[in-house]
A and B are shown apart, each in its own frame.
Chain A
Amino acid sequence: DSGVTQTPKHLITATGQRVTLRCSPRSGDLSVYWYQQSLDQGLQFLIQYYNGEERAKGNILERFSAQQFPDLHSELNLSSLELGDSALYFCASSVDQGDTEAFFGQGTRLTVV
């Protein structure tokens, strides 16, 4: 158990809908990262937050947004969903913003039908 909690574990929704994925980082970690993993693909970095502020952006679509709240949990919002958005979405956390060791949650499997 990495200490990072993601909910829900599975999500099935229709095209055009909007969903919110939630992440609770390890106790004491200030950085949160979001990654997308498509079937048999590597992990695509989406976005990073540190202590409530956005720190880095990767290949995140404009339809996607995220935020980190004062209690340090984070949410990833995916809107106008398309079939191609079906993937595993991982959240990771680390103590500081420059850490190479990040702790990953179990992921949320999103299926868009």
Chain B
Amino acid sequence: GESVGLHLPTLSVQEGDNSIINCAYSNSASDYFIWYKQESGKGPQFIIDIRSNMDKRQGQRVTVLLNKTVKHLSLQIAATQPGDSAVYFCAENTGGFKTIFGAGTRLFVKA
């Protein structure tokens, strides 16, 4: 069945360091993998997505890596800032009609 899971529930990093948030998935049929950020008291916010036929995609300060061999997805945040503190969800989209979210990783940025 479909499942998207996260390796670590919490991650604490020093301001200015790079952050790496990991995610495992089980559905090889997913077309897209997506990262969302949810700040306290707000709805999730789209960060970046990657199509299943790619292995890397870069955005502004973020890079998503996809390893289909081991069904692993990661989000790298460069020069982490206090404003990056949030819960990060990986998600997968199969067929475009529904996006399945994982459990989330909470990122703490220490000043």
Instruction: Tell whether B67 is near chain A: CB-to-CB under 8 Å.
Output: no
Q: Mark B38-54, 1 if CB is under 8 A from A, else 0.
A: 00011111100100000
Bound CA span A4–B44, Å: 12
List the A side residues contacting B43 at CB < 8 Å: 2, 4, 90, 92, 104-107
Within 8 A of B (CB), among A92-113: 92, 97-107
- B97→A90 contact, CB < 8 A: no
- B97→A98 contact, CB < 8 A: yes
- B99→A45 contact, CB < 8 A: yes
Task: Identify the stretch in B13-21, B71-79, B100-108 within 8 Å (CB) of chain A at 4 or more residues.
Answer: B100-108
Instruction: Tell whether B22 is near chain A: CB-to-CB under 8 Å.
Output: no
Instruction: Tell whether A18 is near chain B: CB-to-CB under 8 Å.
Output: no
Interface size class of B (residues with CB under 8 A): 20 to 34
- B44→A43 contact, CB < 8 A: yes
Closest to A105 in B: B43
How many of chain A's residues have a CB under 8 angstroms from any CB in B?
26
Q: Write the nearest CB–CB distance from A25 to chain B, whole angstroms.
A: 13
List the A side residues contacting B98 at CB < 8 Å: 33, 45, 48, 56, 58
Q: Mark A44-81, 1 if CB is under 8 A from B, else 0.
A: 11001000000110100000000000000000000000
Within 8 A of A (CB), among B34-88: 34, 41-46, 49
- B96→A2 contact, CB < 8 A: no
Closest 5 CB pairs of A and B: A104-B43, A98-B96, A56-B97, A43-B101, A56-B98
